[in-house]
Amino acid sequence: MARIPQPITATVEEQQELLVMFRSHKIEKRYSQRASIILLSLQGKSLEEIIQDTGLSRPVVNKWRQRFRRYGIEGLKDGARSGKPSVITAQQKALVIKKACEKPTGGYTNWSQKRIAEQVGISQSKVHQILRKADLKPHKIDYWCGKSPDPEFEAKMINIVGLYLTPPENAIVLCVDEKTQIQALDRTQPVLPLKEKMPKRLTTTYKRNGTVALIASLAVHSGEILAKPMKRNTADNFLQFLRKLDRHYTNKMLHIIVDNYSVHKNQKVNEWLKGKRKIKLHFTPTYASWLNQVEIWFNMLSKDVLKGGVWKSDEQLVSQLLEYITTYNQTRAKPFAWTYTGNALTIS
């Protein structure tokens, strides 16, 4: 005679908890399956129907039905497992964290998980687990902008931002800076072009064909770029570029934003500016050249032109730079849009 299984009962609270377990997308699947076994049992389903609905084996279904009868909801949880206890001591865990947070010795700048493991005497995988649990990433470096020590930071910053937001009438606001040491690199083997499932490839070996410097101005409210290639960044070259801007923007007051580089404050430059009432230089605060918008354009130049470029000579590099500037002015030049939508920043 077939054995009749004992009925399964549950309190209202247990039924609610079983439903939460069954519907949750955050708990592991095995707990949801165990809850479904009990819920189907409470609906009066037979053992065979539960096996068919859940796709689980008979021993598994029987196991969790029996566990629930004996222990309730607690019976659906995994029991303590036997096995080899952890061989990582609390002292070793603390030492891993200490090592990761201090400067390494032996001339190294950063720690690797392998070297931490060697010094502590445990496996690299254990080091990875400890660091992950502590949310430490010794391999990663983030950069942040420190506070400028300039005592006139706020006044200079407000002056420059004011020129960006509300420029004076009949005036043009220009951002000027230099990008130096642009290398004309050639590769020792031909470039392998992009193809399906394969990126463009360059040899790691290269040869230098000279360097170029570029001085550029960005017209803040139109986006126009004026630039001049040069061999070196000198006060004479900066002065020549100011004269070029003077000729290009006639009958306009020029407010030119520059950083504190020495060539921008050279005596020759200051003497020339005394006779040019239409030109006024505005210096960014110390360590705050990021206020100069032409830095954004230089970053675009690096991504669009310099990254992965190959040039047979510095003349070829200069030609491509000038071609890019012409194309940029014709197709992309426009004021940079302010995209920050958060709370106004305050100066502490």
2 has pLDDT over 60: no
Give the sign of the dihedral formed by CA 123, CA 125, CA 131, CA 134: negative
pLDDT confidence bin for 161, thresholds 50/70/90: very high
Residues 108, 200, single domain; the answer is no
For residue 7, being part of any structural domain is answered with: no
Residues 292, 171, single domain; the answer is yes
For residue 3, being part of any structural domain is answered with: no
CA distance 228 to 241: 7
Q: What's the whole-number average pLDDT of the chain?
A: 89
Residues 180, 303, single domain; the answer is yes
pLDDT tens digits, 11-47: 888 888 888 888 888 788 888 899 899 999 888 888 8
145 has pLDDT over 90: no
Which CATH number does the domain housing residue 258 bear? 3.30.420.10
Which of residues 88 and 182 earns the better pLDDT score? 182
Residue 348: per-residue pLDDT: 47
Residues 162, 259, single domain; the answer is yes
Helix (H) and strand (E) counts for the chain?
12, 5
Please tell me the least confidently modeled range out of 93-107, 184-198, 271-285, 288-302.
184-198
Residue 83: per-residue pLDDT: 64
For residue 339, being part of any structural domain is answered with: no
The one-letter code for the residue type at 266 is N
> How many structural domains does the chain have?
3
For residue 2, being part of any structural domain is answered with: no
For residue 343, being part of any structural domain is answered with: no
Mean local confidence (pLDDT), 200-204: 81
Residues 250, 228, single domain; the answer is yes
Residues 126, 203, single domain; the answer is no
DSSP string of 119-137, one letter each residue? HHTS-HHHHHHHHHHTT--
pLDDT tens digits, 209-234: 999 999 999 999 999 999 999 999 99
Residues 107, 170, single domain; the answer is no
For residue 338, being part of any structural domain is answered with: no
The arrangement of strands across the sheet holding 206-219 comes to: 225-230, 206-219, 171-187, 253-258, 279-283
Residue 4: per-residue pLDDT: 59
Residues 113, 256, single domain; the answer is no
Residues 48, 120, single domain; the answer is no
241 has pLDDT over 70: yes
Please tell me the least confidently modeled range out of 96-105, 189-198, 201-210.
189-198
Residues 117, 249, single domain; the answer is no
pTM: 0.63
Boundaries of domain holding 128: 90-133
Mean local confidence (pLDDT), 135-157: 85
Which of residues 186 and 298 earns the better pLDDT score? 298
* pLDDT more than 70, % of the chain: 94
Residues 115, 243, single domain; the answer is no
242 has pLDDT over 50: yes
For residue 170, being part of any structural domain is answered with: yes
Residues 266, 315, single domain; the answer is yes
